[in-house]
Amino acid sequence: MDSYMLSVLSNIGMISFLALSAYLLLLVGKVSFGQQAYFAISAYVSAMATTLWGCPLWLALFFGAISAGISATLVSIPTLRLKGFYFSVATLAFAEMIRLGLVIFKYQVEIDGELVGPEGSIGFRGIRYIYDHNFSSVEYLCLIYGCLLVVIGLMIFWEHSRIGSIIRMTGADELLTEMQGINVKLVKVLTAGFAGTIAGLGGGLYAHYLTYVGPEMFGAMLGVHAVSYGLIGGLGTTFGPLLGTLLDFVFLKSAVFSEYRMIIFGGIVAVLLIFKPRGLLDEALLYKIRQKLRKPSWK
């Protein structure tokens, strides 16, 4: 496989984490414009873990994902009781706070005579773990997709279990769900925490792939794209956000459209949302598919 396809696939894989993260929150009925905050937190934490403290990659990714998950849980406690617009804007505010914090954050350690570490808006360079440890592009791609498949597997498993039903119920009507005896607040907080962890895992992989991270990479655009992938691809299944991510990369990041990409992407999203407000693979479509697949036991 040539290195161009490898890099495109790697990008798709990493951004998929962010898309899945935003998707989970969409399922509980919340539009989060701020998942990039957890992406960023984990990117920095895991990069510091390998570059400054010499951790192995798996441990660094773990630290990153955990720190993202904890932050997400903490943030969700005050914000999840906010309705629609207020929640979305609060998540955007938090993400901007993190980004602005990174513009200020400076922590450098001397390694081999050179100062290494995040340096505010100048960025954090030298995250060369995968090159120093002779990871090939194919091996890293396998790592990305390995992690992604584990996450997808988990989500599909939950999708078909009681947990999935609870999450979707919460998204559809919180009051009714409470009446069923379910602790809606707990459901939402746990979902947000898990969503943060997923975003975090992607963030750690991202930082090591790029070898450099800077606050300018984690702006609102990233978060909004993540949400729109879920809304385009469909909220009916875990494959929805993945479809959305794929569509963006395949059709729009190709050279043909590059100058008009935003115009076309923006137009498509707006038009699609008129006809399919819950995306291509929305619940209605999934229901029809499941009906067709179910063989009637009486004939």
Residue 203 contacts residue 98 (beta carbons within 8 Å): no
Determine the size of the site formed for another protein (CB under 8 A): 80
Distance CA 105, CA 132 (A): 26
Quote the least distance from Cβ 53 to another protein, whole Å.
Answer: 19
Annotate 175-221 with DSSP letters as a single string: HHHHHTT--HHHHHHHHHHHHHHHHHHHHHHHHHHHSEE-GGGGSHH
Task: Collect all residues with Cβ–Cβ distance below 8 Å to 96 and sequence separation of at least 6.
Answer: 220
Q: Interface residues for another protein in 167-206 (CB under 8 A)?
A: none
Quote the least distance from Cβ 276 to another protein, whole Å.
Answer: 9
Task: Work out which of 20, 26, 60, 205 binds another protein, going by CB under 8 A.
Answer: 26
Distance CA 276, CA 207 (A): 35
C-alpha closest to that of 23 among 199, 266, 260: 199
Quick check: 96 binds another protein (CB under 8 A)? yes
Distance CA 21, CA 178 (A): 24
Quick check: 250 binds another protein (CB under 8 A)? no
Quick check: 262 binds another protein (CB under 8 A)? yes
Quick check: 58 binds another protein (CB under 8 A)? no
Q: Interface residues for another protein in 2-21 (CB under 8 A)?
A: 2-4, 6-8, 11, 15
**Gyration radius from the chain CA atoms:** 20
Distance CA 114, CA 128 (A): 14
Distance CA 162, CA 180 (A): 13
Task: Work out which of 269, 283, 285, 286 binds another protein, going by CB under 8 A.
Answer: 269
Quick check: 255 binds another protein (CB under 8 A)? yes
Quick check: 110 binds another protein (CB under 8 A)? no
φ, ψ at 211 (rounded to 5°): 70, -5
Distance CA 233, CA 90 (A): 25
Task: Work out which of 277, 284, 287, 290 binds another protein, going by CB under 8 A.
Answer: 277
Which part of the chain contacts another protein (CB under 8 A), choosing from 49-57, 64-72, 176-184, 213-221? 213-221
Task: Work out which of 150, 179, 221, 250 binds another protein, going by CB under 8 A.
Answer: 221
Between 157 and 212, CB nearer to another protein: 212
Helix axes 137-159, 184-210, angle to 10 degrees: 170
Q: Interface residues for another protein in 117-156 (CB under 8 A)?
A: 120-123, 125-128, 130-132, 134-137
Quick check: 52 binds another protein (CB under 8 A)? no
Between 137 and 239, CB nearer to another protein: 137
Quote the least distance from Cβ 149 to another protein, whole Å.
Answer: 21
Quote the least distance from Cβ 85 to another protein, whole Å.
Answer: 5
Quote the least distance from Cβ 18 to another protein, whole Å.
Answer: 12
